[in-house]
Amino acid sequence: MKLIKSLFALLAVFAAAVVYVRSTPDSAGYAVAANPSPAVPADEAEIVEDSMHEFMEYVFQPTYRRLKVSMATEPADNNGWKAVKSDSLILAESCNLLFARTPDEDAADWNKHAAASRTNGSELYQAARAKEFAKAATAYKSMLNNCNACHRQFEDGKHILEP
Ligand code: HEC
């Protein structure tokens, strides 16, 4: 009887240890599943708006217009930097969505412009995180040059954006 009792006690300790290890929170305080599986598999991704015109008009244009205002002078406070972080991240990640919208002709050039814009957008985001305005301004101008490079090649030079 004593042996059975101590066996049960041992089992309880083991079970508690397993539960603890499986639900150890990450640094943000969320419990990390032992075997995380993505909620939405990659092949579930699908394009919502397949018109390039609408995509640029409703995702890129308003973001660019806000960024232009936020980047006109060095952000004065944390909220100013947050605005730059937000819009640069939206643009950089949205450039990734251009790879799913490659035209039949000159696809390699299209992807090259998209990748360059994304890289500069990411540099702008990182500079905004570090609150380094000179670096941010350089990345912002380079990004627009690459946005414009695509517009020059694929839009006959329409939509040339100014910093
Ligand atoms: C890979 C090519 C490509 C890249 C890179 C690109 N664009 Fe565009 N953009 C287009 C095309 C194509 C159009 C024209 C869409 C249409 O009207 O059919 C366009 C149009 C626009 C317009 C005009 C929208 C309107 O309604 O008149 C804006 C603003 C714009 N882009 C912003 C940006 C910004 C900002 C970036 C960079 C962060 C960018 N684009 C990067 C292809 C690109």
The predicted model gives 111-124 an average pLDDT of: 98
pLDDT at 77: 98
Is the CB of residue 91 below 6 angstroms from any atom belonging to ligand 1? Answer: yes
- Name which residue sits closest to atom 16 of ligand 1, judged by CA: 53
Nearest CA to ligand 1 atom 7: 147
**Would you say the CB of residue 2 lies under 6 angstroms from ligand 1?**
no
Interatomic CA distance for residues 97 and 35, integer angstroms:
28
| Greatest alpha-carbon span in the chain | 88
Confidence of residue 141 (pLDDT cuts 50, 70, 90): very high
Q: What b-and-e string marks burial along 97-115, b requiring 16 or more CB atoms within 10 Å of the CB?
A: bbeeeeeeeeeeebeebbe
143 lines ligand 1 (CB under 6 A): yes
Q: Which of 96, 98, 153, 159 to mutate to test the pocket of ligand 1 (most atoms within 8 A of CB)?
A: 159
pLDDT at 2: 54
Distances in Å between the Cα of 10 and the Cα atoms of 3, 15, 18, 20, 45 are 11, 9, 13, 15, 47
Ligand 1 mean position to 34 CA, how many Å?
42
Write down all domains in the chain, each with its CATH number in brackets: 1-37 (no CATH), 50-154 (1.20.120.10)
More confident: 7 or 143:
143
Residue 21 confidence (pLDDT)? 42
Any ligand 1 atom below 6 A from CB of 98: yes
128 contacts 116 by C-beta, under 8 angstroms: no
Between CA 32 and CA 24 the distance in angstroms is 6
Residue pLDDT, tens place only, 71-94: 999 999 999 999 999 999 999 999
* Contacts within 8 Å (CB) and 24+ apart, 86-90: 87/63, 88/121, 88/122, 88/124, 88/125, 88/128, 88/140, 89/121, 89/125, 90/59, 90/63
Segment 32-46, tens digit of pLDDT:
455 556 666 777 889
Residues 101 and 59 sit within 8 Å (Cβ to Cβ) = no
CB 91 within 8 A of CB 64: yes
Pocket test for ligand 1, best of 52, 150, 156, 161 (most atoms within 8 A of CB): 150
